[in-house]
């Protein structure tokens, strides 16, 4: 059963991290477009956010199950505490990205996409840091 949950966890990781990477590279592509075309392109990209949300949900649910033998170590494991805190930060960033995307659909997309870009970079850095810490802790 652990292997199945671990597979689900890695699928969630691929979806979540893949969304961040996709936004980064597609953001680079949209920066080379005319502003009106870039805004339309970015509005269409908001559909990717659902993949990131599903990925994060899979990660958290499977991660809670995979953590079951490690909860007793939590107090003496600073790396594990940092990892769990960063997962919380990532969840907040994903929520902020989603909220800004919804505001962008309603108007003044340029301003909201500027905020989304900042949150997206932070989310990518946070997700990569979580992966590094997880590898160091669970090696």
Evaluate if residue 133 carries a pLDDT over 90.
yes
What does the pLDDT look like over 71-87, one tens digit per residue? 888 888 899 899 999 99
Between 8 and 23, the more confident residue is 8
Q: What is the mean pLDDT of residues 106-129?
A: 88
Quick one: pLDDT at residue 54?
A: 93
Quick one: pLDDT at residue 10?
A: 92
Classify burial at 48, counting beta carbons within 10 Å of its beta carbon; exposed 0-12, middle 13-18, buried 19 or more. Answer: middle
Decide: 42 and 117 in contact? Cβ < 8 Å: no
Distance separating alpha carbons of residues 7 and 26, to the nearest angstrom: 27
Range of the domain at 108: 2-138
Quick one: pLDDT at residue 28?
A: 87
Between 1 and 139, the more confident residue is 1
Q: What is the crossing angle of helices 2-30 and 109-138, to 10°? A: 140
Q: What total number of domains does the chain contain?
A: 1
Choose the most confident range, by mean pLDDT, from 4-18, 24-38, 104-118: 4-18
User: Considering the chain, what is the average pLDDT of its residues?
Assistant: 89
Evaluate if residue 55 carries a pLDDT over 90.
yes
Decide: 59 and 9 in contact? Cβ < 8 Å: yes
């Amino acid at each position: 059963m652990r292997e199945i949950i671990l597979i689900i966890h890695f699928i969630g990781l691929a979806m979540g991290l893949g969304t961040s990477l996709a936004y980064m590279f597609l953001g680079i592509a949209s920066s080379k477009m005319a502003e009106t075309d870039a805004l339309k392109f970015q509005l269409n990209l908001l559909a990717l956010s659902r993949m990131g949300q599903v990925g994060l949900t899979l990660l958290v649910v499977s991660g809670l199950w995979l953590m079951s033998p490690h909860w007793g170590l939590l107090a003496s494991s600073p790396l594990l505490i940092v990892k769990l805190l960063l997962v919380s930060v990532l969840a907040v960033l994903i929520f902020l990205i989603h909220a800004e995307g919804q505001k962008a659909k309603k108007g003044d997309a340029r301003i909201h996409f500027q905020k989304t870009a900042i949150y997206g970079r932070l989310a990518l850095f946070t997700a990569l840091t979580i992966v590094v810490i997880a590898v160091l802790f669970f090696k």
